[in-house]
Amino acid sequence: MRLRSLLLGSVLSGVLLSSAVGDEGMWLYSNPPRQKLKEKYGFELTDEWLGHLQRASVRFNSGGSGSFVSEDGLVISNHHVGADALQKVGTQKKNYLRDGFFAASAADEIKCVDLELNVLQSIEDVTARVNAAVPEGLSGDEAFKARRKILSEIEKESLKQTGLRSNVVTLYQGGAYHLYRFKRYTDVRLVFAPEQQIAFYGGDPDNFEFPRYDLDICLFRVYENGKPIKVTDYLKWSKAGAADGELTFVSGHPGKTNRLLTVAELEYLRDLSFPYTLTRLRRLDSLLTAWSGRSEENARRAREDFFSVQNSRKAREGGLAGLQDPTLLAKKSAAEQTFRTRLAVNGEFPEAAAAYDRIAAAQQVIAKQFIRHRLLEGEHGFESEAYGIARTLLRAGEERPKPNGERLAEFVDSETASLELNLFSDKPIYEDYEILRMSDSLAFLAEQLGVSDPLVQKVLAGKSPRERAAELIRGTKVHDVEFRRKLYTGGSAAVDAAKDPMIELARLVDGEARSIRKIMDAQNELRNQAHAAISRARFKLEGTGNYPDATFTLRLSYGPVKGYVDDGRNVPAFTTFGGLFERAAAAKQRPPFDLPPRWNKKKDALNPSTPFNFVSTADIIGGNSGSPVVNRAGEFVGIIFDGNIQSLVLDFAYEDQVARALSVHSSAILEALNKVYGATDLAKELQTGRRKR
Amino acid sequence: MRLRSLLLGSVLSGVLLSSAVGDEGMWLYSNPPRQKLKEKYGFELTDEWLGHLQRASVRFNSGGSGSFVSEDGLVISNHHVGADALQKVGTQKKNYLRDGFFAASAADEIKCVDLELNVLQSIEDVTARVNAAVPEGLSGDEAFKARRKILSEIEKESLKQTGLRSNVVTLYQGGAYHLYRFKRYTDVRLVFAPEQQIAFYGGDPDNFEFPRYDLDICLFRVYENGKPIKVTDYLKWSKAGAADGELTFVSGHPGKTNRLLTVAELEYLRDLSFPYTLTRLRRLDSLLTAWSGRSEENARRAREDFFSVQNSRKAREGGLAGLQDPTLLAKKSAAEQTFRTRLAVNGEFPEAAAAYDRIAAAQQVIAKQFIRHRLLEGEHGFESEAYGIARTLLRAGEERPKPNGERLAEFVDSETASLELNLFSDKPIYEDYEILRMSDSLAFLAEQLGVSDPLVQKVLAGKSPRERAAELIRGTKVHDVEFRRKLYTGGSAAVDAAKDPMIELARLVDGEARSIRKIMDAQNELRNQAHAAISRARFKLEGTGNYPDATFTLRLSYGPVKGYVDDGRNVPAFTTFGGLFERAAAAKQRPPFDLPPRWNKKKDALNPSTPFNFVSTADIIGGNSGSPVVNRAGEFVGIIFDGNIQSLVLDFAYEDQVARALSVHSSAILEALNKVYGATDLAKELQTGRRKR
């Protein structure tokens, strides 16, 4: 599972949650569950322990989490988090994503393309300053502009003062605004990746399932000025790794949850957003299955997108199944009614009492625009690297001359470095693959909006989707990085003069895309204001001791290593290497249950009782992929890589009977590095915390 | 490709075509293109030649075509036409569909489950009688009833008089009604099938592509009274098989084309029908891919459905691409305008002149009901064997006591034998697979109609789709053939008393399903009347020398064996066994380009220059699968098994630049039987036309 899946297709984000139960919670580092941990587990959470874990935790901006595991800048994450980087450095001859990679020496480490890592340095509450800048009584549109202005001001000021990447994070859906400052790393080099066959053993059929047997890891090293950085806060490797029943902690970046949306918002997800998203994902699934099947090289070019599509599809299917279960919605509905009654009786929170209807009204406007918004502003109608680049160039020309506070969010000064990293990336772009995606998405656009829609007519320009896509992809020059630089530097004048067909297409669409975005922004501002009112009432009535919905910022979760009972069947907490070989034999090594040749050869060298994967009750969601799992001593005992199928409902509510977080056990990592890959120096670096010199 | 794909999701059928070009045409046996053949090819089509080919041609009611190839009842068709039968006689231990089958002796031939073959005996024009029974001025609903009554009367009378299966076929979308009488065979035994790996070499990625290397054949033997039937009209095997440039004929059962629908009807297909169907097919594709991947036994249970879904998906994608190509629709539109102008100027055909707007109006009503119709009456919301059986039992109880002419079409006397063959089939039904499909389709129902739809609420009964599906499938008894017999014989009273949960679900849905069907029937009757008026005008203005749209009845097509140029690349008409082994080696024998072990072993025994597959310009469509290809002498030279991707547009218009029909060459069949399978007696039977005694 990964973040990307959960950012697709929806514009909602966190709301305040009612009081947490069991081991529930994706806790803010600035408001950790000290008392709960003490009461239930007798664990004393110190500032020192927490600060260390915070600085050892890493965010992958391609989607996912990781951690420092040596003083020499070594970072561990999942193979599927590293997949984007593996894909971009791969070639027809060197299929690193499929076949794995190992840098035998420092000189062999490969610099990743456009990969950015962030490490959280500080959190500052700026709620009062933000709210003071947005007076009451403004329209949704005006309020949105005022808020965008103050947010970009705070971020720019912080960037200037500290030199750190600075983002104001909206928590409790507008109940609070926190300024997060990150150290930013962009020279990240590939150290080790296993074969995808073992990293993603069982493939799509076993994805989101347990028992599992996946060595879903990838190792990187962070450089500055051409040398590995020196890290003080890295995680020490546990000798024994995670044990059954042991309390463990997860430190990572859960992408997005929807736990206390109102019933109106959930119904919108159930009836419109999720079904649309699934229609699109299944279409892409079909397209990429067929195309990948045609040749090995096709499969390589599409591999990372294909995985991402299949993964998102399954995650969404699980989420929609949750929303279609009347029990879940009945509970949500009852809780909402109870709280609304309490507000009505209390009488002190008229704004909160009125908020529910306001949200429902905003949601209706949003629903009307939703599909057009996804197709035009979300680029679902123009899927290709080229269109994304073309639109960025077009908009950069228009936005960058504006005052910082008036620009579209992605063009403000605090985002410039990340934007340019992506825009000038020299990752490979394949013409045939671009035409495939573009022509399919143009057909999707025509299907969704109707061929006779005036914009569709203009976009297709009297041609079939296939013809039009070929003409655009073959005609554009945006695949050339130098061309991009020239237009970006030259601004609007250079962009206009280029008359590039893909940029001209983006221009054709941009008027409507921008105006729909404006409507959506204004309605979401109104929703945020309403949620903020509910949050304020909740803070007063229930205290501030709770956690906000996930926002792809650093959170702490916890829970014991623990098996479960599935449909009457006992599922133990651990799998082993022995179990892996049994599974492969039972499936007669047929894909996706075949093992890499190296694993078959080394079977006898491996200790079959080595724990491989394990489950815990920690509260996680997409984006947590690659999160370190640590014990009470703060030692690395495993790494999150998935949730079981029952955990997909965590999007909407915590559950600990059958929902489980899945991790690779720390011992499996050492055993595999030593016995299968002969990467003994790397294994030693993990164990000692320093590189062999 | 196969018929099923083309019956999915649309209720339209044939209309009169404007004058045929090139080798265009799926010609009626009662109105063959004698003059065209004579003029262009100097070929004299005699009644004797045609009658022989007619009686040698076989229709598979599971979807597809075939032909007699020995006097001892041997029938050849495609592996993918036989797949349904192979699936039904397979077990976990004997996976005939995947691994193939060969009956070494007569005693080893396996009787197929619920397979019905039809051989056309006679054609009679009953247009005048049908039209006389439907007076002018009736409402759509009344006219539909009157027409249903006269059709069932004619069919029942014919069945009684001749004992032959009798169906009135609607041609030229109501321009003509012909009574087709068929000899019906239900004791059909499996003789030979190759491995699916070679029958469907290249799998879904290569489906609808050329060059191809598929041994897509399956052999059956027809029995009566426990003995093989004696056949006078069987096809003699050609010594050399098809040659480049040679004129060939195809005799088979094209399922359905939409060549002269009005523009309003085509827009409906483009904007509603095809997109809905594709959304559903892609969903099923995802579902079955994931489920099949979980285990070999899952894959076996789903295999035939899975193939069918993938095949239909590709066919529909090709069709929709055609409809989205503005060139095609512009041509259709121009032709329609020209003809309408001619009608207006002429003034003698006021009904035809008004017909276009009438069709558009009916089409609008149909569009409003379309999705509900597919979900409820088309059972897309309740996919499972159990629901189909339950509804048949429910409706049989209600329909059978009614006068023959007032029943739903599938319950009239002339259909009873086929209905009972299916209803009492003891094909295996798997509980887990039933729950999988049912729960997914209930979720689809909820997505399409909305969870809050009153019928959806009743159907789900407060449970999630998954829970509800499990409860229904585990609770019903309709999987028991004896139970079905009891209820069918006992009629409504027995059905009501059973209180079977699945039958009760069907009852819950049936009121609305029937009323939507009634609306659709009435609107289609109005469309038919309008098309009939256009047809009459066309007959007068352009003559009756043309062919109607396909209707899954016997047709004759023709065209030379001929390669083509694809995107600048020369594609020769033939592939060879040598090419097969090269393809497998180039793909490193990775699935779906791996060869069955037997083929790898026998490589050296095979003559590499043996022609394997070939292409011709014959006008075919799904349903033609398994059609014999014959030469001027009426000898068997090959067997149709697919069309290339460019041929998918034949649904709407004939094309002969790049659209091609794909066949297995007759020589490849002999060479494979002799050298790979050691089935020398069977090969000899094909060559001599009689079984070894």
- Which residues are registered as beta bridge partners of A616? A561, A661
Mean pLDDT of B499-518: 98
Q: How far apart are CA B627 and CA B254, in angstroms?
A: 9
Do the chains contact at A205 and B294, CB–CB below 8 Å? yes
Percent of chain A with pLDDT over 70: 97
Q: Looking at the predicted structure, is the pLDDT value of residue A62 above 60? A: yes
A271–B contact, CB cutoff 8 A: yes
A589–B contact, CB cutoff 8 A: no
pLDDT band at residue B568 under the 50/70/90 scheme: confident
User: Which residues in B lie closer than 8 A to residue A293 (C-beta atoms)?
Assistant: 203-205, 592
pLDDT band at residue A19 under the 50/70/90 scheme: low
What ipTM, to 2 d.p.? 0.87
Write out residues 560-579 of B within 8 Å (CB-CB) of A.
none
Percent of chain B with pLDDT over 70: 97
A278–B contact, CB cutoff 8 A: yes
Q: Looking at the predicted structure, is the pLDDT value of residue A6 above 60? A: no
CA distance A6 to chain B (A): 19
Question: What pLDDT score does B567 carry?
Answer: 80
Q: How far apart are CA B616 and CA A537, in angstroms?
A: 75
B462–A contact, CB cutoff 8 A: yes
Percent of chain B with pLDDT over 90: 92
pLDDT digits (tens, 9 = 90+) for B141-193: 999 999 999 999 999 999 999 999 999 999 998 999 999 999 999 999 999 99
Beta carbons within 10 angstroms of residue B600's beta carbon: 12
Q: Is residue A317 classed as helix, strand or coil in its secondary structure?
A: helix
| Residue B434 counted as domain residue | no
| Residue B649 counted as domain residue | yes
A209 alpha carbon, distance to own chain's centre = 20
Among candidates A204, A286, A294 on the partner chain, residue whose Cβ is nearest the Cβ of B290: A204
User: Which residues in B lie closer than 8 A to residue A463 (C-beta atoms)?
Assistant: 326
State the residue for tokens 């399956």.
B218
Q: Which two tokens stand for residue A642?
A: 């998935």
pLDDT digits (tens, 9 = 90+) for A431-458: 999 999 999 999 999 999 999 999 999 9
Do the chains contact at A314 and B290, CB–CB below 8 Å? yes
Among candidates B279, B295, B321 on the partner chain, residue whose Cβ is nearest the Cβ of A279: B279
Query: CA–CA distance from A221 to each of A106, A118, B85, B307, B313 (Å)?
Result: 10, 14, 58, 46, 45
Do the chains contact at A451 and B270, CB–CB below 8 Å? yes
Question: What pLDDT score does A22 carry?
Answer: 82
pLDDT band at residue A79 under the 50/70/90 scheme: very high
C-alpha neighbours within 13 Å on the C-beta side of residue B38 = 7
Mean pLDDT of A261-289: 96
User: Which residues in B lie closer than 8 A to residue A283 (C-beta atoms)?
Assistant: 278, 282
Q: Is residue A383 classed as helix, strand or coil in its secondary structure?
A: coil
Q: Looking at the predicted structure, is the pLDDT value of residue B413 above 80? A: yes
Q: Rounded to a whole number, what is the largest CA-CA distance in chain B?
A: 73
B431–A contact, CB cutoff 8 A: no
Do the chains contact at B326 and A206, CB–CB below 8 Å? no
Do the chains contact at A465 and B321, CB–CB below 8 Å? yes
Q: How far apart are CA B545 and CA B32, in angstroms?
A: 9
User: Which residues in B lie closer than 8 A to residue A467 (C-beta atoms)?
Assistant: 325
Q: How far apart are CA B26 and CA B19, in angstroms?
A: 12
Q: Looking at the predicted structure, is the pLDDT value of residue A11 above 70? A: no
Instruction: Decide: B71 and B221 in contact? Cβ < 8 Å.
Output: no
Q: Is residue A224 classed as helix, strand or coil in its secondary structure?
A: strand
Q: What does the mean pLDDT of chain B come to?
A: 94
Check residue A662 and report its DSSP letter: E
User: Which residues in A lie closer than 8 A to residue B283 (C-beta atoms)?
Assistant: 278, 282
Q: Is the peptide bond before B211 cis (omega within 30 degrees of 0)?
A: yes
Write out residues 72-131 of A within 8 Å (CB-CB) of B.
none
Q: What is the CA radius of gyration of chain B?
A: 25
Q: Looking at the predicted structure, is the pLDDT value of residue B236 above 50? A: yes
CA distance B271 to chain A (A): 6
User: Which residues in B lie closer than 8 A to residue A447 (C-beta atoms)?
Assistant: 271, 275, 320
Q: For B591, name the nearest residue in chain A, comparing CA atoms only.
A: A293
User: Pairing between strand B555-560 and B27-28?
Assistant: antiparallel
Question: What pLDDT score does B19 carry?
Answer: 56
Do the chains contact at A326 and B462, CB–CB below 8 Å? yes
**CATH number reported for the structural domain that contains residue A44 in this entry:** 2.40.10.120
pLDDT band at residue B4 under the 50/70/90 scheme: very low
| Residue B145 counted as domain residue | yes
CB contact set of B377 (below 8 Å; sequence gap of 6+): B513, B514, B516, B517, B520
Question: What pLDDT score does A38 carry?
Answer: 96
Q: How far apart are CA A580 and CA A583, in angstroms?
A: 5
Question: What pLDDT score does A13 carry?
Answer: 30
Q: For B276, name the nearest residue in chain A, comparing CA atoms only.
A: A447
Domain carrying residue B626: 3-258+552-686
Question: What pLDDT score does A5 carry?
Answer: 40
Total structural domains within chain A: 1
Mean pLDDT of A40-48: 97
pLDDT digits (tens, 9 = 90+) for A481-519: 999 999 999 999 999 999 999 999 999 999 999 999 999
Measuring CA to CA, which residue among B128, B97, B464, B58 is closest to residue B306? Answer: B97
pLDDT band at residue A140 under the 50/70/90 scheme: very high
Give the dihedral sign, CA A675/A680/A682/A683.
positive
| Residue A269 counted as domain residue | no
User: Which residues in A lie closer than 8 A to residue B463 (C-beta atoms)?
Assistant: 326
Q: How far apart are CA A642 and CA A657, in angstroms?
A: 17
pLDDT band at residue B486 under the 50/70/90 scheme: very high
Beta carbons within 10 angstroms of residue B454's beta carbon: 9
A324–B contact, CB cutoff 8 A: yes
pLDDT band at residue A310 under the 50/70/90 scheme: very high
Do the chains contact at A324 and B587, CB–CB below 8 Å? no
| Residue B419 counted as domain residue | no
B460–A contact, CB cutoff 8 A: yes
Check residue B548 and report its DSSP letter: B
| Residue A459 counted as domain residue | no
Mean pLDDT of A11-39: 75
Which amino acid does the sequence have at B546? N
Q: Mind giving me the DSSP string for B399-428?
A: HTTS-GGGS-GGGSGGGHHHHHHHHT----
B587–A contact, CB cutoff 8 A: yes
Question: What pLDDT score does B20 carry?
Answer: 63
Q: Looking at the predicted structure, is the pLDDT value of residue A664 above 80? A: yes
pLDDT band at residue A1 under the 50/70/90 scheme: low
Mean pLDDT of B52-58: 98
Query: CA–CA distance from B81 to each of B87, B429, B616, B641 (Å)?
Result: 11, 20, 21, 9
**B209-240 b/e with 16+ CB inside 10 Å = b?**
ebbbbbbbbbbbbbbeeeebbebebbbbbbee
Mean pLDDT of A453-464: 96
Sheet of strand B574-576: strand arrangement:
B27-28, B555-560, B247-252, B628-630, B636-643, B661-665, B611-616, B574-576
CA dihedral of B191, B195, B199, B202, whole degrees rounded to 10? 170
pLDDT digits (tens, 9 = 90+) for B296-328: 899 999 999 999 999 999 999 999 999 999 999
What's the predicted TM-score (pTM) here?
0.90
pLDDT band at residue A92 under the 50/70/90 scheme: confident
pLDDT band at residue A9 under the 50/70/90 scheme: very low
Instruction: Decide: A446 and A457 in contact? Cβ < 8 Å.
Output: no
Q: How far apart are CA A171 and CA A168, in angstroms?
A: 9
CA distance A616 to chain B (A): 24
CB contact set of B160 (below 8 Å; sequence gap of 6+): none
Q: Nearest 5°: phi and psi at B178?
A: -120, 135
Give the dihedral sign, CA A487/A491/A497/A503.
positive
A661 alpha carbon, distance to own chain's centre = 16
Among candidates B294, B295, B466 on the partner chain, residue whose Cβ is nearest the Cβ of A321: B466
A597–B contact, CB cutoff 8 A: no
B457–A contact, CB cutoff 8 A: no
Do the chains contact at B324 and A285, CB–CB below 8 Å? no
Check residue A614 and report its DSSP letter: E
User: Which residues in A lie closer than 8 A to residue B469 (C-beta atoms)?
Assistant: none
Angle at B428 between CA B425 and CA B433, to 5 degrees: 130
Q: Looking at the predicted structure, is the pLDDT value of residue A263 above 50? A: yes
Q: Looking at the predicted structure, is the pLDDT value of residue B22 above 90? A: no
pLDDT digits (tens, 9 = 90+) for B56-104: 999 999 899 999 999 999 999 999 999 999 999 998 899 999 999 999 9
Q: For B274, name the nearest residue in chain A, comparing CA atoms only.
A: A447
Contacts 24+ apart (CB under 8 A), B586-595: B587/A295, B587/A296, B588/A296, B590/A296, B591/A591, B591/B203, B592/A293, B592/B197, B592/B200, B592/B201, B592/B202, B592/B203, B592/B204, B592/B205, B592/B206, B593/B201, B593/B202, B594/B197, B595/B197, B595/B198, B595/B201
User: Which residues in A lie closer than 8 A to residue B289 (C-beta atoms)?
Assistant: 204, 285, 289
Q: Which two tokens stand for residue A248?
A: 């463990």
The number of helix segments (H) and strand segments (E) in chain A equals 25, 21
Q: How far apart are CA B260 and CA B173, in angstroms?
A: 10
CA distance B309 to chain A (A): 11
Instruction: Name which of A212, A286, A444 to mutate to probe chain B: the one with the most chain B Cβ atoms within 10 A of its Cβ.
Output: A286
Q: For B330, name the nearest residue in chain A, comparing CA atoms only.
A: A462
User: Which residues in B lie closer than 8 A to residue A371 (C-beta atoms)?
Assistant: none
User: Which residues in B lie closer than 8 A to residue A321 (C-beta atoms)?
Assistant: 443, 464-466
Which amino acid does the sequence have at B684? K
Query: CA–CA distance from A286 to each of A291, A379, A590, B303 (Å)?
Result: 9, 19, 22, 17
Total CB pairs under 8 A between chain A and B = 103
Query: CA–CA distance from A470 to each of A384, A431, A435, A476, B152 (Å)?
Result: 12, 9, 6, 10, 53
| Residue B464 counted as domain residue | no
pLDDT digits (tens, 9 = 90+) for A384-414: 999 999 999 999 999 999 999 999 999 999 9
User: Which residues in A lie closer than 8 A to residue B471 (C-beta atoms)?
Assistant: none
A222–B contact, CB cutoff 8 A: no
User: Which residues in A lie closer than 8 A to residue B462 (C-beta atoms)?
Assistant: 326
User: Which residues in A lie closer than 8 A to residue B277 (C-beta atoms)?
Assistant: none
Q: Is the peptide bond before A211 cis (omega within 30 degrees of 0)?
A: yes
Do the chains contact at B464 and A314, CB–CB below 8 Å? no
State the residue for tokens 């009689």.
B690
| Residue A450 counted as domain residue | no
User: Which residues in A lie closer than 8 A to residue B452 (C-beta atoms)?
Assistant: 267
Do the chains contact at B443 and A321, CB–CB below 8 Å? yes
Q: For A270, name the nearest residue in chain B, comparing CA atoms only.
A: B447
Do the chains contact at B271 and A451, CB–CB below 8 Å? yes
Among candidates A204, A324, A467 on the partner chain, residue whose Cβ is nearest the Cβ of B443: A324
